[in-house]
């Protein structure tokens, strides 16, 4: 409300600035007319103002006409003096005599001053009444400014059920994330337990088959196998080493650490591709999480709520 009072005060000052030149023009005197208009208590103040200001207007107009006549005579006199100074005595009498006809300045070429200076066409007939009403309104306005009362009624802010605060939305997102994270942790725990049991079972089965079957996963050329092959070679018996091209696809020589069978190469390639897809998926979710967090932070720091208050001001002057 303090700002409203300041606005009203500025409005009063603006009104005073507008009315002051009018009052100075009607009530005061200027350099053209020295008739000072003094308002007196009479029955018809409007008629008095109309009559007095009309007289002031006529006096100002006639004074301008008199000034024009004086300037006209001064111009003729100046021209006559300059003419006499520039020409010889013999010819200046014939050449300078037109500048002596200053009586032209006294001729009313535009008409009589009384008719010219009548302000009937430019001054409204109800000017006096309007001025009195304006003057009374200004006096009433400034006389009662100390008793101005403001009555206002603030409309209650309408709250919508679907509008939620930013902190509330953030809490909801965090709660929902924590709830889903708990479910995800439970599923991952069950999955890890199942995979652990499965790996243990596979290891037991592999160990049992490796010990019981000579053909099971027996594709590695060990140091002991080389010793046996060398002994057979010294005894001039058939040997296995060196491996043929076709045998290298199914047998692994441990001296060549990078050597893999065709089946192992396919399995490793498949798992490498699967691992790459998992890495890309994890990176995608990390980037998505970063984007969501960044978006929430932008909303948190840059969002704003604008409240608009509407009302009306009623000013009573008594």
Each residue of 223-275: pLDDT tens digit?
888 888 889 888 888 888 877 777 777 777 777 656 666 677 788 889 999 99
The structure tokens listed for 159 are 């709250």
Radius of gyration of the chain (CA): 57
Q: In the prediction, which pLDDT does 316 show? A: 57
Q: Is the pLDDT of residue 146 over 60?
A: no
What is the residue-averaged pLDDT of the chain?
A: 77
pLDDT at 261: 66
Q: Which of 48-52, 70-74, 186-190 has the highest mean pLDDT?
A: 186-190
Confidence at 284, pLDDT banded by 50, 70, 90: very high
Q: Domain residues of the chain, as ranges?
A: 19-143, 167-302
Distance, in Å, from the CA atom of 241 to the CA atom of 223, rounded to the nearest integer, reads 12
The 10s digit of each residue's pLDDT in 108-136 is 656 666 777 777 777 788 888 888 887 77
Q: Give the per-residue pLDDT at 102.
A: 65
Where is average pLDDT lowest: 11-15, 47-51, 56-60, 181-185? 11-15
Read off the pLDDT of residues 148-160 as tens digits, 9 standing for 90 and up.
555 656 555 555 5
Half-sphere exposure of 268 (CA within 13 A, CB side): 8
| In contact, 14 and 8? CB cutoff 8 Å | no
Q: What is the pLDDT of residue 83?
A: 80
Q: 316 vs 187, which has greater pLDDT?
A: 187
The predicted model gives 89-111 an average pLDDT of: 68
d(CA 106, CA 73): 9
Q: Is residue 49 classed exposed, middle or buried when 0-12, 13-18 and 19+ CB atoms within 10 A define those classes?
A: buried
Is the confidence at residue 35, as pLDDT, over 60? no
pLDDT for residue 277 = 94
Q: Note if the pTM is more than 0.85.
A: no
């Amino acid at each position: 409300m303090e700002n409203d009072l300041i606005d009203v005060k500025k409005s009063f000052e603006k009104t005073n600035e507008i009315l002051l030149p009018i009052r100075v023009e009607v009530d005061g005197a200027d350099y053209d007319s020295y008739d000072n208009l003094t308002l007196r208590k009479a029955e018809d103040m409007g008629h008095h103002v109309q009559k007095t200001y009309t007289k002031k207007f006529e006096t100002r107009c006639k004074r301008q006409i008199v000034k024009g006549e004086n300037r006209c005579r001064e111009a003729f006199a100046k021209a006559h003096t300059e003419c006499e100074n520039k020409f010889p005595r013999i010819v200046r009498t014939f050449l300078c005599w037109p500048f002596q006809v200053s009586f032209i300045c006294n001729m009313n070429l535009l008409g009589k001053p009384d008719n010219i200076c009548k302000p009937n066409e430019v001054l409204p007939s109800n000017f006096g009444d309007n001025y009195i009403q304006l003057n009374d309104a200004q006096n009433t306005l400034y006389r009662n400014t100390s008793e101005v009362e403001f009555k206002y009624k603030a409309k209650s802010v309408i709250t919508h059920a679907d509008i939620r605060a930013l902190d509330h939305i953030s809490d909801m997102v965090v709660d929902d994330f924590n709830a889903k994270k708990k479910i995800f942790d439970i599923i991952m725990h069950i999955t890890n337990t199942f995979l652990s049991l499965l790996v243990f079972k596979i290891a037991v089965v592999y160990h049992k088959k490796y010990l019981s079957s000579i053909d099971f996963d027996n594709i590695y050329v060990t140091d002991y196998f080389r010793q046996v092959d060398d002994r057979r070679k010294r005894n001039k018996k058939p040997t296995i080493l060196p491996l043929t091209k076709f045998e290298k696809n199914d047998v692994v020589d441990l001296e060549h650490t990078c050597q893999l069978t065709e089946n192992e190469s396919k399995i490793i390639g498949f798992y490498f591709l699967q691992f790459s897809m998992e890495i890309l998926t994890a990176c995608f979710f990390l980037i998505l999480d970063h984007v969501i967090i960044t978006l929430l932070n932008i909303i948190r720091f840059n969002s704003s709520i604008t409240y608009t208050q509407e009302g009306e001001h009623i000013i009573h002057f008594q």
